[in-house]
Amino acid sequence: MKGPWKAYAFLVAVVATVLVLSTSALAVGGHRRSASVAAAPRWVTSVGPAAWSGRLTALYPGAANDTEFRTITVVNNGASAARLLSVTASIPAAPGGDARTVSGADIRGCRASWFTAWIAHANRALPAQLGPGKVFTGQLDLVMRDTSTDQDACRHTSPAVTVTAR
């Protein structure tokens, strides 16, 4: 009986060795493949200074033709060309819902939800491919909605705008 058990133990050791070696080979092969695939682009966004749609030079709730325009740029900081799928804008809010300034301070009593920000593509589609170091330029439009409540806390302030590219 010693003979069959020895043979069985030897066979188990061989199978285990083959399994370990094949798993290691797959892991190494998988690593090589993922290293050769281009990394996802890293989009870098920036927002330019404000320009105004009319004679007003600040945002007022419910004022006609009162839109703050800003130029936005998106740069492909990646190593390869990539498709720019979307560019969106939002007003960052503090935990209580107040808007924030560019420096990150809360604008107490001035709600982020009172503002609407969107990216205008100037009637053109996003680029099919944006090469490394190439720039997409768009326009950010920012307005303040009238909520029929006291919005004086927003006077003389400008909320931060976050632009996200994917």
pLDDT, mean of residues 106-128: 89
Dist CA 139 CA 121 (whole Å): 7
Dist CA 116 CA 61 (whole Å): 11
Q: Between 7 and 33, where is the model more confident? A: 7
User: Rounded to two decimals, what is the model's pTM?
Assistant: 0.70
Domain 43-165 grouped into CATH 2.60.40: yes
pLDDT, mean of residues 5-15: 51
HSE-up of residue 105 (Cα within 13 Å, Cβ side): 5
Taking CA 116 as the corner, what is the angle to CA 113 and CA 120, rounded to the nearest 5 degrees?
160
pLDDT at 9 over 50: yes
Phi/psi for 154 (5° steps) reads -90, -5
Q: What is the pLDDT of residue 3?
A: 59
